[in-house]
């Protein structure tokens, strides 16, 4: 019980943190600074939806492990890393399909409705990936 919970929390936390780092790398500016120092709402929406999408993927990997701790840990890590890569790739593909620099648009402090479409895209892809695991 407790050790399994700690193991899952460790893997899940690592996946979420790495996902945040990757998102920071593919968007302009320092995401942590944009969200926590500048109070940039667009950057917060983008980061928050990325975390929710990855959380759904990791959660599904854990739930489908059927109480097999080793498999659950491995699945959470592998599917979490795959989710990070696919969400980043999807962001870049969406950037190619939209006018302007999507990263710049989605972190613009003045706000842009594009961040909501991008956020929905990230959440939907996370849900699709989670469903594919099950």
Alpha-helical runs (H) found in 27-40? 31-32
3-class secondary-structure state, position 113? coil
Question: What does residue 30 show for φ and ψ, rounded to 5 degrees?
Answer: -95, 110
pLDDT of residue 89: 96
> 73-82: per-residue pLDDT in tens?
999 999 999 9
> 3-60: per-residue pLDDT in tens?
999 999 999 999 999 999 999 999 999 999 999 999 999 999 999 999 999 999 999 9
């Amino acid at each position: 019980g407790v050790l399994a919970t700690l193991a899952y929390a460790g893997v899940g936390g690592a996946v979420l943190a790495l996902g945040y780092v990757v998102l920071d790398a593919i968007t302009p500016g320092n995401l942590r600074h944009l969200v926590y120092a500048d109070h940039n709402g667009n950057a917060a929406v983008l980061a928050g939806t990325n975390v929710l999408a990855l959380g759904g993927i990791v959660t599904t990997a854990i739930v489908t492990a059927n109480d097999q701790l080793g498999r659950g840990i491995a699945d959470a890590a592998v599917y979490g890393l795959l989710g990070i890569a696919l969400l980043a790739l999807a962001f870049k593909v969406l950037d190619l399909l939209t006018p302007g620099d999507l990263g710049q648009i989605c972190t613009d402090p003045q706000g842009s409705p594009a961040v909501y479409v991008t956020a929905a895209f990230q959440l939907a892809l996370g849900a699709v990936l989670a469903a594919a695991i099950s």
